[in-house]
Chains A and B, each alone.
Chain A
Amino acid sequence: MRRRIGVWARRAGIALVIAWSLFPVYWALNTSFMTNAEAQSTPTHFLPTRPIFTNYQAIFGAGPQSAEAAGGIGRSLVNIVVESGGATLLTLVIAILGAYAFARLRFRLKNLFFYTVLGTLTLPVYATLIPLYRIMSQVGLVNTYLGIILVYASGFMPLAMWIMYNIFLALPPSIEEAAVIDGASMLQRFYRIALPIAKPGIAATAIITFLLGWGQFIFPLVLSSTGSTQPLTVVLAALEGRHVVPYTIINAAAIVAIAIPAVLVFLLNRWIVEGIIAGSVK
């Protein structure tokens, strides 16, 4: 009897965990398919009586409410993809090279360099925000993709290096050693052997870096003042702050902003978990 109570308590608990994790997203979805009148009805409707798609049409510039609602959402979606994608590529190339060297090679000042890179993991946003803005405006990279990508990448590199370092360390060195005996050069050993076996780890690092880029807000807020480079996060916050666009449309835009991360989580969650754990264990 006690055992059965335990089983049901656990099931109820898991149901609550699911509700807690999903409710806000369900609520945004629900609102995004409603007319403004229905969204404002009291008591609240928990499902749209007749789902409509005009809110989604509006944010991409179609329909009567489009002019102010669109507010550059389409462009900002392109921007966020370019910026988080570009930063992910740059971060991966540089962090993987560094991580491999730290994990497998011997060179002078290795420990000093390693702890310098790792030490910047503890630096909060505060430490670099204002100077990075001033540096970027001095070199004319404010309102450019390059400026944003450089800043993102420099912020993501320590974590990506740390995840990849742990992944390289966990790979058995024996295969690489066998290749060295067969006369492979250091680059061949890295490129032909270590990289292919580390592929799952690289995928995990790539997904986590991409999600970090997708979630950026304060850096692009400071580094881009025009719609030409503002990512969706910045444009959505501005749209919400103006208080003229109806909440139904805002929620549709929010759903667009979370669609790609959500798909990544549902398709690739094993790698995300692996990356998070590899990045946390010290």
Chain B
Amino acid sequence: MVAPLLVFILALALYPTVLTTIDAFMHIDALTPPNHFAGFGNFAAIFSNPEIRQSFENTGWYVVFGVGLTLVLGTTFGLLLQRRFRGRGIVLAIVILPWALPGVVEGVIWSWIYDPTFGVLNSVLKSLHLVSQYQLFIGTRQIESILLISLVQVWQITPLATLLVLASLQGIPGEIYEAARVDGAGWWQVIRRITLPLIRPGLAIAAVEALVLSLNIFDQVYVLNAGATTASSVMNMTYFVTFQGLNFGQGYALSLLATVVTVVLSLGALKLLYRKVTF
């Protein structure tokens, strides 16, 4: 019964991963054949390329913004939606919606919102007198571009964090809150001292999922950053080097590096953050 599953996993997940690991040390360039062993040549080439180095830094920012904003918003949303109220079911459906939509389509929708000449963001900021004239938000200033692109991904993945927080909240027995209230704790103290520590397992999983997704950000950047290197992520650079530049060896090296970083960071973060909670 498990044989078909194992065949798929071996042929289309593990075998390709082995190929990536081996070929990262090969010179495979459609423009300068033949292929040959290159040692760490691909890695040296990657690290001496300033655009690729910038993509490392950019991806770091995507992770910082992505994980930070997703956790803050997911926790806030979870706390707001925790209690039952009329229409809670439909509100939950609305909250899940962004998670279910394709990242590329979200990029397209938001690029119209961010549009430098006709975008609604510009229109609103101008009518509030926060900007004196319409702005080009993405493409020139690095951190601002990354933050705005990251926000589109945060919009997509916040529902995951919200659901995980809600699931953890449901496990907290009501007596704990009552006891705290009897002891005279204010709402902020209750959140800080009781709720947040008790939903830690859910938050840890949400953090790891946000970490993996933001380390791998591609779709939103592909649409919103349109070829510029200002806000390119490692995944965008990998795609560009491999499928536009046809330098497969360097693409493999970037992929291997990113795979190792993703696996190590996500397992490390899970180990560091996850604590079983017992009541």
Contact = CB atoms under 8 A, between A and B. Distances in A.
Contacts of B262: 122, 124, 126
A236 B103 CA distance: 12
A28 B109 contact: yes
Interface string B49-67: 0000000000000000000
Interface in B1-53: 1-2, 4-6, 8-9, 11-17, 19-20, 23
Contact of B259 (A17, A18, A124, A211): A124
B109 A254 contact: yes
Chain B interface main SS type? helix
B138 interface: no
Contacts of B112: 27-28, 31, 247, 250-251
A43 B123 contact: yes
A124 B104 contact: no
Interface string A209-239: 0010011111001100000000001101100
Interface stretch (A71-79, A173-181, A271-279): A271-279
A188 interface: no
Nearest to B218: A218
A260 B78 CA distance: 26
Given A13-B80, A17-B95, A280 B205 contact: yes
Interface stretch (B177-185, B192-200, B219-227): B219-227
A155 B14 CA distance: 11
Contacts of B1: 97-98, 100-101, 105
Chain A interface main SS type? helix
Nearest to B106: A24
A130 interface: yes
Contacts of B17: 123, 127-128, 131
A158 B9 contact: yes
Nearest to B111: A240
Nearest to A135: B16
Contacts of B187: 6
Contact of B102 (A122, A258, A276): A258
Interface in B73-119: 73, 76-77, 80-81, 83, 85, 89, 91-98, 100-113, 115, 117-118
B170 to A, nearest CB: 10
A97 B4 CA distance: 9
B267 A122 contact: yes
Contact of B226 (A10, A13, A241): A241
A27 B239 CA distance: 31
Given A132-B16, A157-B5, A281-B205, 10 more contacts: A10-B83, A14-B81, A102-B2, A126-B20, A158-B13, A215-B100, A215-B102, A234-B104, A266-B93, A269-B96
- Rank and list the top 7 A-B pairs by shortest CB-CB distance, nearest first: A154-B12, A98-B5, A131-B16, A101-B1, A131-B19, A215-B102, A44-B123
24 contacts: A18-B91, A20-B73, A21-B97, A27-B120, A28-B112, A43-B123, A44-B118, A95-B5, A117-B6, A120-B14, A122-B267, A124-B215, A124-B262, A126-B235, A126-B262, A128-B17, A133-B243, A217-B219, A218-B239, A222-B239, A233-B102, A240-B111, A247-B112, A254-B105
